[in-house]
Amino acid sequence: MERFINILIIDDDHKNQKGLKEILSGGGNNILLADSIDTALPLLKQKEIGILLINIDNPFFGGIELLQSLKEISSVKNMYKIVLTADSSSGAKMVKGLNEGAVDYITIPFNPNLIQAKIEVFKSLFYKDQRINQLLNNIFPATVLEDLSANKAFSPRRFENGIVLFTDFVDFSSKAKDIKPIRLLKKLEYYFNQFDVIIERYKLEKIKTIGDAYMALAGVTEHHEEPSIRACLAAIEIRDFLRNEQDIARAMNRDFWEIRVGLHMGPLVAGIIGSSKISFDVWGDTVNIAARAEQGTKPGHITITKEIAKNVSDFMNLEPRGAVNIHKRGGSIEMFYLNDIKLNHCLYGEGKIASTALRIKCGLTSIDFEHMRNDITNRLKALLPEDVIYHDISHTLNVEKAAIRIAKLEGINEEDFLLLKTAVLYHDAGYILQHDSNEAFAIMIAENNLPKFGYTQDQIKTITNIIKSTSTDIEPITMLEKIMCDADHDYLGRADYYNVSNKLRLEMANCGNKMNELEWVQFQLHYLEKVHRYHTETAKNIRLQSKKVRIAELKEQLKILK
């Protein structure tokens, strides 16, 4: 698996910059250069820097002062700082640099082998840090991790209006007896992974799974608006996802699983439990009532209590259930079936997907990206002609991966990131209709579809400009357009170049442009040498060197063919 890292070199000596870039180029290293602290600061703020190399010899350059200031910035705490110095005799500067947060030093003049070895060590540590942070984020809420980082502890806290969501599968025990353990685990994993995506989409917090039960919170570990509405939207989407799965299973005459969902809002206590194997959990009567709401609902239905109903009744269609007894606890609570979203607060008039206004009210992005993505990928899978071998759904998904990688290395903000990914998913949709001028048809499809998913006209204009930039006769201008073009041609500098290019050759043959071996090699060489160029510094850093290798290989093939 390819891994990439931003390495920032801060040095006012351009000879040092050039030497280090030559030594470190390749291997997934995106080398960034700054010749002053002023030019370095925007890069440090915008991009995630994995390794920082900074010259500390010149007292007027400010290298030591920058190291001191970086010690106070939490966003760069996982960055590995290495000092550059020619003063290797006394070591005083190196010691000062290490005291200010540097982890190692590199002496000038450079020893390429030693530098490469050191950088590989810190790259490995950086990737390990990323993996550990990812695992911690999967286990603990962000607010808990912040407290643990700052205070080394998370004290139990009481929340007056925490919302608990429970799901479980109907007759799970009896169904589980007839399924092999590995298949059962994979099926549970498939459903729970889908639940995770939905829960994250509505800014809820997954707490745990207990067998076939799934538990999540709203309004406890995050501070987004309208937690009751967000929790209900998540519940509706989970239920509808299972209903779709059931429809498919019935059509194929297969067994299917049904789900129950229950929600309640009230006081609860949240905290960390355990000493050696710690976990985050919640306790209180609210948890028990939410569990009872779930256990007492009908298969394929959602039950909410009156505490939630009074917050969502203006937006959701509810069906009264009356008072429901709470086992063990005693007493009863008024409950309701949650059916769907009211027509004036949903898209398409189906009661399933929240309107743009309702999403904004809940503190969510106005763009319903996931539903848009499902819609366009399903269209591409179903409607792209069979002779479209290269510009198929796998190509679109590969371009999406490349665009995500470049955008992250470039430090693109969240909204621009969504617009870029949207443009990527639509950029080859025009091939559904025709090969020639496919960009124009892709833009037409985007303009017709995207308003349904909450995209504004300004956002759609940005997206269509990004799509338009993939035309060979248009020069990309904005950073998003440059990333789009570089992602579209990412494979030119990848190891799988020949596999991908052969698909292009077959597609061109299907369109009547069949070439013999000599013509094909000449066509590739002309395009790689005379037509194509990478636009972002990231793509140049991580792909240009390999692209040059492809050019050299093709030239050797040309000699043989001639």
Q: Where are the beta strands (DSSP E) in 358-504?
A: none
Specify whether the backbone of 54 is left (phi greater than 0), alpha (psi in -120 to 50) or beta.
beta
pLDDT at 62 over 80: no
Sign for the CA dihedral angle at 318, 320, 321, 324 comes to positive
Query: What is the average per-residue pLDDT within 31-43?
Result: 91
List residues bridging with 8 in a β-sheet: 32, 52
Sign for the CA dihedral angle at 473, 475, 481, 486 comes to positive
Read off the pLDDT of residues 403-425 as tens digits, 9 standing for 90 and up.
999 999 999 999 999 999 999 99
Higher confidence at residue 73 or residue 464? 464
Read off the pLDDT of residues 163-199 as tens digits, 9 standing for 90 and up.
999 999 998 888 788 788 888 899 999 999 999 999 9
Cis peptide before 299 (omega within 30 of 0): no
Question: What percentage of the chain exceeds 70 in pLDDT?
Answer: 96
Confidence band for 537, pLDDT divided at 50, 70 and 90 = very high
Read off the pLDDT of residues 314-332 as tens digits, 9 standing for 90 and up.
999 999 999 888 876 778 8
Q: Which of 235-249, 274-288, 337-351 shows the highest mean pLDDT? A: 235-249
Strands 332-341 and 302-305: antiparallel
Q: What integer pLDDT is reported at residue 91 of this predicted model?
A: 61
Cα 10 to the chain's mean position, in Å? 30
Q: What's 58's DSSP letter?
A: -
pLDDT at 560 over 70: yes
Q: Which residue has the tokens 């309702």?
A: 358
- Please report the domains of the chain, with CATH numbers, ordered by start residue: 5-139 (3.40.50.2300), 155-361 (3.30.70.1230), 369-561 (1.10.3210.10)
Q: What is the mean pLDDT of the chain?
A: 90
Number of C-beta neighbours around residue 453 at 10 A: 20
pLDDT at 234 over 60: yes
Q: Which residue has the tokens 């848009």?
A: 372
Q: Which of 67-76, 144-153, 388-397 shows the highest mean pLDDT? A: 388-397
Query: What is the average per-residue pLDDT within 524-546?
Result: 95
**CB contact at 8 A, 401 and 520:** no
Q: What integer pLDDT is reported at residue 470 of this predicted model?
A: 93
Q: What integer pLDDT is reported at residue 437 of this predicted model?
A: 86
Q: Which residue has the tokens 């050759």?
A: 505
Q: Is 189 exposed, middle or buried (0-12, 13-18, 19+ CB in 10 A)?
A: exposed
Q: What integer pLDDT is reported at residue 74 of this predicted model?
A: 60
